[in-house]
């Protein structure tokens, strides 16, 4: 039951964490760092890519010049990121040539060798030879090669306008259908938002949980906890630390979500229609409530791990399993973003602990039934109950155990001790 002693611990935790320079720096700089890292990764990937050397070889003599004319219009050829050579060889000549240039392919002087045979006009199969698979090369060359094949196949049978229309791909114009809003133009803004929410939830749980575990380990190692427990029960101390860390985490998440709220409201930045973000008060409230349960659950688990060990090095054996409980849903959520309405996505969004990250991601992309959200919260309440019972028993004994690193078999025996 909440009392003055727990309140005193909560105040102490808030004072320590909110005034910590590292917490303030990480809270304020995390969004900037995330954007900066993404920009650096993009910059270095482009800078390190160099020039991709490709040879396009066709069996039809007229295709080589057509390929060159078509590809010269694309930016990736103009900016010299692709160096493309064109040749005409029969099948037998190509077999001999492939043997000659094999060493250059192996040492990547030639990154890709593409052969367009006469049968390509029938089955559209293009032969691709390379040391490694480069999906980017295939994606960039797919459209221009297909366009050349279509134009060559229908040459003289269709007018230039008809050829252009036949060789162009399909342009999907998306509309979102929902019960509340009806039919609206589809935007990719909420798709980007789902990625951002996933990363923020992941970072928030790890950072606050790690701080909680570190705080427990330090108090145990310095024997400060023995003085504190002279005037407060272990479960009260644990409850105070968890509540204090949870309030800190919610405050941090509000700061991180503030730019998204401002952008979604359109008060400072007016996004184009195709990039518009729909972020309602209800969505924000659910994400915060869901994150609240996530913080309570994981702070309990991290505090439990911290109470078992005397130093951070020994705590790694218990830290990793708890980390996996965050990392597995984190990676699953990225795969589910492509199809958030699938049965697998629905099941994962209702699984205990996994729903802490996965359900908010689904909720930012599509209209989730209210009963799904209610069931997810109920599952979190039940999960919190069992985690609190587990963490309370282990923390009560572990926090005063010092010296030899305990075995996991010993930790399990602690659960049998009566309060």
Mean local confidence (pLDDT), 11-23: 80
Q: What integer pLDDT is reported at residue 317 of this predicted model?
A: 83
Q: CB neighbours of 52 closer than 8 A, spacing ≥ 6? A: 81, 82, 83, 111, 112, 134, 137
Region 343-352: mean pLDDT is 91
- Are residues 26 and 111 located together in one domain of the fold? no
Q: Which of 105, 137, 166 is the last residue of a domain?
A: 166
For residues 106-116, give the mean pLDDT: 88
The per-residue pLDDT for 173 is 54
The reply to whether 200 falls in a domain is yes
- Would you state the structure tokens that stand for residue 344, as one six-digit string? 């697998």
Residue 362 forms part of a structural domain = yes
Residues 60 and 97 occupy one common structural domain: yes
What gap in Å lies between CA 26 and CA 204, rounded to an integer?
Answer: 11
Same structural domain, 9 and 63: no
What are the φ/ψ torsions at residue 119 (nearest 5 degrees)?
-70, -15
320 and 244 part of one domain: yes
Answer whether residue 302 is part of any domain.
Answer: yes
Pair 315, 402 in one domain: yes
Domain limit, last residue, from 131, 166, 201? 166
Q: Which position has the higher pLDDT, 192 or 363?
A: 363
Summarize the confidence of residues 158-185 as an average pLDDT: 62
Q: What is the pLDDT of residues 289-330, one digit of tens each?
A: 999 999 999 999 999 999 998 888 888 888 899 999 999 999
Say how far apart CA 146 and CA 142 lie, in whole Å: 6
Tell me the pLDDT tens digit for each residue of 374-396. Answer: 999 999 999 999 999 999 999 98
- The answer for residues whose C-beta is within 8 angstroms of residue 287's C-beta and 6 or more apart is 197, 257, 360, 363, 364
Pairing state of beta strands 175-178 and 182-185?
Answer: antiparallel
152, 173, 299 from 314: Cα distances, Å: 68, 55, 19
Per-residue confidence band for 281, with pLDDT thresholds at 50, 70 and 90: confident
Task: Kindly state whether residue 39 falls inside one of the protein's structural domains.
Answer: no
Query: Is 295 a member of any domain?
Result: yes
Number of structural domains the chain divides into? 2
**201 and 315 share one domain:** yes
For the chain, state the CA radius of gyration: 29
Residues 238, 140 share a domain: no
Q: Are residues 219 and 318 both part of a single domain?
A: yes
In terms of pTM, does the model score above 0.85? no
267 & 320 share domain: yes
Closest CA to 292 of 236, 376, 168, 370: 376
339, part of any domain? yes
Mean pLDDT along residues 66-75: 83
Residue 73 located in a structural domain: yes
Q: Lowest-pLDDT range, 258-272, 338-352, 374-388? A: 258-272
- For tokens 């973003």, what's the residue? 337
In this structure, the answer to whether residues 114 and 205 fall within a common structural domain is no
Question: What are the E-state strand segments in 146-273?
Answer: 175-178, 182-185
With a cut of 50, say whether residue 48 has pLDDT above it: no
Is 45 among the domain residues?
no
**2: which 2 tokens?**
């909440």
Residues 197 and 316 in one domain: yes
CATH number at residue 69: 3.40.50
What percentage of the chain carries pLDDT values higher than 70? 84
Please state, in angstroms and as integers, the Cα–Cα distance from residue 322 to each residue in 264, 301, 318, 327, 389, following that order: 34, 7, 7, 9, 17
Enclosing domain of residue 105: 51-166
Q: Degrees (nearest 5) of the Cα angle 107, 112, 117?
A: 135
Least-confidence region, from 100-114, 199-213, 263-277, 332-346: 263-277
Domain-ending residue, one of 132, 166, 200: 166
Least confident residue range of 58-72, 130-144, 179-193, 344-358: 179-193
Residues 62 and 150 in one domain: yes
């Amino acid at each position: 039951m909440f009392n003055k002693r727990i309140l005193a611990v909560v105040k102490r935790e808030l004072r320590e964490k909110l005034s910590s320079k590292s917490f303030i720096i990480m809270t304020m700089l995390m969004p900037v760092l995330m954007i900066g890292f993404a920009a650096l990764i993009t910059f270095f990937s482009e800078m390190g890519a160099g020039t991709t050397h490709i040879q396009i070889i066709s069996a039809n003599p007229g295709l080589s010049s057509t390929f060159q004319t078509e590809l010269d219009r694309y930016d990736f050829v103009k900016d010299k990121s692709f160096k493309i050579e064109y040749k005409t060889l029969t099948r037998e000549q190509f077999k001999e040539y492939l043997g000659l240039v094999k060493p250059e392919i192996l040492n990547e002087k030639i990154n890709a060798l593409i052969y367009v045979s006469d049968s390509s006009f029938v089955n559209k199969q293009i032969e691709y030879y390379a040391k490694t698979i480069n999906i980017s090369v295939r994606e960039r060359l797919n459209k221009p090669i297909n366009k050349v094949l279509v134009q060559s196949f229908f040459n003289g049978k269709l007018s230039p306008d008809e050829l252009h229309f036949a060789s162009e791909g399909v342009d999907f114009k998306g509309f979102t259908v929902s019960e509340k809003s009806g039919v609206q133009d589809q935007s990719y803004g909420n798709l980007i938002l789902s990625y951002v929410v996933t990363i923020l939830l992941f970072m928030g749980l790890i950072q606050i949980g790690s701080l909680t575990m570190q705080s427990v380990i330090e108090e145990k190692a310095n024997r400060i906890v023995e003085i504190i427990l002279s005037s407060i029960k272990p479960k009260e101390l644990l409850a105070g630390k968890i509540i204090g860390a949870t309030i800190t985490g919610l405050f941090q998440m509000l700061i991180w979500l503030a730019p998204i709220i401002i952008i979604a409201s359109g008060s400072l930045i007016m996004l184009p229609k195709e990039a518009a973000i729909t972020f309602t008060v209800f969505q924000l409230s659910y994400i915060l409530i869901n994150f609240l349960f996530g913080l309570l659950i994981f702070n309990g688990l991290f505090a439990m791990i911290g109470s078992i060990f005397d130093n951070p090095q020994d705590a790694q054996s218990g830290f990793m399993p708890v980390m996996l409980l965050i990392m597995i849903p984190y990676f699953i959520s990225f795969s589910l973003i492509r199809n958030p309405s699938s049965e697998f996505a629905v099941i994962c969004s209702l699984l205990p602990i996994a729903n802490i990250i996965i359900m908010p991601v689904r909720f930012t992309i599509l209209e989730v039934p209210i009963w799904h959200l209610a069931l997810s919260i109920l599952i979190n309440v039940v999960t919190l109950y069992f985690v609190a019972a587990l963490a309370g028993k282990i923390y009560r004994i572990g926090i005063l155990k010092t010296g030899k690193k305990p075995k996991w078999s010993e930790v399990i025996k602690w659960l049998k001790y009566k309060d």
